[in-house]
Structure 1
Amino acid sequence: MSQITLIKNAHVFAPRDFGICDVLVAGDRIAKIDHNLALPENIGQVVDADGAWLLPGLVDSLVHISGGGGEGGFASRTPELDPREAFASGVTTVIGVLGTDATTRTLNELYGKARALDAQGLSCYMHSGSYQFPVNTLTGSVRTDIMLVDNIIGVGELAISDHRSSHPSTAELLRVASDARVAGLLSGKSGVISIHVGGCDGRLQPLFDAVSNSDIPISQFYPTHINRNENLLQHGVEFAQAGGFIDFTTSTTPEILASGELRASRALRVALESGAPEDRLTFSSDAQGSMTNFCDNGTLQDIEVGSVGSLFDEFRRAVQAEGVDFVRALQAVTSNPARVLGLRRKGGIGEGLDADLSLVDPESFTIRHVMAKGRWQYFDSQLQFRGAFA
């Protein structure tokens, strides 16, 4: 029997402000949004939100779900994502990627972890490839990976303007983008190219060069870490104004901030004030990835681990500390990433969309309940999730 839940008296942000509504969930989908909804006696569960904010589950477009790191040697390899951390942070959809290490971290391993997370209630997709060019694949080509492997939606994170990059040429970037784009068109997926942008002087110029030398739309490239420094942020604003999406990383450290990085929340405010379109800006956590701080000569100074919880923290900081409009900030962690990733049933609250929801206390701006795929995974600030071994 399908699970039925009625959430009453919720202040719904879909992310557009719907005001106080009732939301009916049947199985893993949202069945109805209206006023004065009711269930027959002894049918389903009724939860009174009492005016709490009902938000879409957060969409995290870049997570090293199988672990990452390693720039400080084998002892600095970072751990896998625990789904409980995601649920407690309101994150219900993640995109798994490889990073610097595609030798001891493999796509086979990434695929297995993605399938495990999905079975545990967290919607999990993945990208083919890594920092490196030529692109590592599961099936032998980018095109067949995207077309034939259900949960592969794009390529990434391919690195540019970074000393750890393979420094792909314009022609090489275009070849990958063309394969991913065609595969996306044929399979109904985004075929997006997630681009890791380092701190080198080239910034986003390799992407501008690729677009100017082809008919590939700028939106096919999805650069991240655009809050790395102010110069890169301004280049990112130009990229967004030209029709691209740009992504700000929410995980950081005091040392990285001292080196010139802007918090994602601050970068969002600056980008909006600089004229970047509000529907082209996103946040991602880079969770389980290594937060590295290199000297000017490329020597590693320190390394820490990214946190999936930083996504909600920076959304809240954008509203409370930076004065960003609530809906604009919410779009950056819900509907905007869902749109660039081609996840049509994610990132919103509407009839027929996936029942991925968070109830947030409006006074404390803290998460009360989290529903993923129609099931409460976090309720009354307590984890409901139970894995195979815990």
Structure 2
Amino acid sequence: MVTVIKDIEVYSPEYLGKKTIVIVDGKIEGVYDSISIPEDFISIREIEGDGMILMPGFIDAHVHISGGGGEGSFKTRTPEIKLSELIEAGITTVVGCIGTDGICRDMKSLLAKAYALEEEGITSYVYTGSYEIPVRTIMSSIKEDIMLIPKIIGVGEVALSDHRSSQPTFEQFISLAADARVAGLLSGKAGIVHVHLGDGPKKFQYMWKLIENTEIPINQIVPTHCNRSIHLFKDAIEHGKKGGYVDLTTSSDPDFLEEDEVKASRGLKMLLEEGVKVENIMFSSDGQGSLPKFNKNREFIGLGIGSVSSLYREVRDAVLNDGISLEMALKTITSNVADCLKLNDKGRIAKGKSADLIIARKEDLTIEGVLSKGVECMRKNKILIKGTFE
């Protein structure tokens, strides 16, 4: 089957104008100004793009795909992600991680969930490890996991500056980063270290010390949750100015947004105003992570679950409410993430790339359709493909 998306405005994420996209065998065969196909050629499925825009499929680099949470005892463990939740959110590539609990959640179950999502229709990867250092791997080392297991592309999320971390020494952190880098070089993968930053006073201290005292480049480390507080965010601005990545978490409850927390869409605007290059900024959802809720008196009133739908919500808010161009905002969940994670066939609309595509209404940027590897998963806001047990 050949699929043709006709006369649609394309954001690659750069704006390409009105184009016609041809898809063959799950890949983008070409991006054309116009095209005519003989009626007696072959079976062709046409999708009309009038009044719509086309974007690359979104990449969410931080999702607890096999469940997360558990920090309020066993009953607070969050459930696994459903395929339809990812499709509805426009996420066609997901990277799974474990989080705090590296005992009852382990790498084997994480990897199994990633394989399941791949079988069901989207692209999936994982990080090896959890919050703790030394890292609990599947094989005997970080290097073996990254080099020999195709779906493992880096280490994470390891926790720093957080009371829930394993309180690693600086030397342990250096060793971890070095192993990840060498494994990445030898395997052709990113080999990044995905770092959870907490509320502690050390903030970026280990990362900056590593950059100053070793040969490991700044972009080997990807700090996330950089917008959890204004104090941490100010250091994140400096990190971005140094040339480092800044990953902003999109999951938050607007009704319970903490006073000093920086909303991701607003954070993007602030980073750009401070001179941080847009290519160094990423969004991730922290989907399926536990989400504490507090009232106005800062009293804990319950738990929610981080939502992958927040990923595009914050991009949309950045455009509609914060005055960021769609080109710039889209990069935070498409091309920037693809480049950081070395996912070479993802994140852009171009000949030879994977046909992961999002169709949205031009007037309000609402998602209408999703294609993953050329397969139509959502049409006119209706989910066409669901998980095995949904």
Q: TM-score range by the shorter chain?
A: over 0.9
Paired with 1:294 and 1:100, the residues of 2 have a C-alpha distance of: 21
2:7 alignment partner in structure 1? 9
Which amino acid counterpart does residue 115 of structure 1 have in structure 2? Y
2:209 alignment partner in structure 1? 209
Contact 1:171/1:210, CA 8 A, preserved across alignment? no
**TM-score normalised to structure 2 length:** 0.96
1:34 alignment partner in structure 2? 32
Q: Counterpart of 1:233 in 2: which secondary structure? A: helix
Matches within 5 A, 1:40-79: 40-41=38-39, 42-79=42-79
Distance 1:259 1:104, change over 3 A: farther
Tell me, yes or no, if structure 1 residue 363 matches structure 2 residue 371: no
Tell me, yes or no, if structure 1 residue 87 matches structure 2 residue 90: no
Bigger drift between 165-174 and 72-81 goes to 165-174
Matches within 5 A, 1:161-310: 161-254=161-254, 257-292=257-292, 302-310=302-310
Bigger drift between 379-388 and 340-349 goes to 379-388
Equivalent in 19, 22, 33 of residue 21 of structure 1: 19
Deviation for aligned residue 1:388: 2.9
Contact 1:65/1:113, CA 8 A, preserved across alignment? yes
Paired with 1:351 and 1:139, the residues of 2 have a C-alpha distance of: 37
Q: Counterpart of 2:211 in 1: which secondary structure? A: helix
Which amino acid counterpart does residue 172 of structure 2 have in structure 1? E
Contact 2:83/2:386, CA 8 A, preserved across alignment? no
Q: Counterpart of 2:257 in 1: which secondary structure? A: helix
Contact 1:69/1:100, CA 8 A, preserved across alignment? yes
Deviation for aligned residue 1:239: 1.0
2:116 alignment partner in structure 1? 116
Deviation for aligned residue 1:254: 4.2
Deviation for aligned residue 1:38: 3.1
Q: Counterpart of 1:378 in 2: which secondary structure? A: strand
Which amino acid counterpart does residue 50 of structure 1 have in structure 2? D
Runs of 4+ in structure 1 over 6 Å off: none
Deviation for aligned residue 1:257: 2.0
The number of residues matched between the two structures is: 386
Which amino acid counterpart does residue 338 of structure 2 have in structure 1? A
Distance 1:318 1:99, change over 3 A: same
Which amino acid counterpart does residue 345 of structure 1 have in structure 2? D
Deviation for aligned residue 1:59: 0.5
Which amino acid counterpart does residue 6 of structure 1 have in structure 2? V
2:341 alignment partner in structure 1? 341
Distance 1:324 1:124, change over 3 A: same
Deviations 1:238-284 (CA, angstroms, capped at 9, x unpaired): 11111211100000124752241111101111111111111100000
Deviation for aligned residue 1:167: 1.8
Long gaps (5+) in structure 2:
none
Q: Counterpart of 1:118 in 2: which secondary structure? A: helix
Long gaps (5+) in structure 1:
none
**Aligned-residue RMSD, C-alpha:** 1.7
Deviation for aligned residue 1:364: 2.5
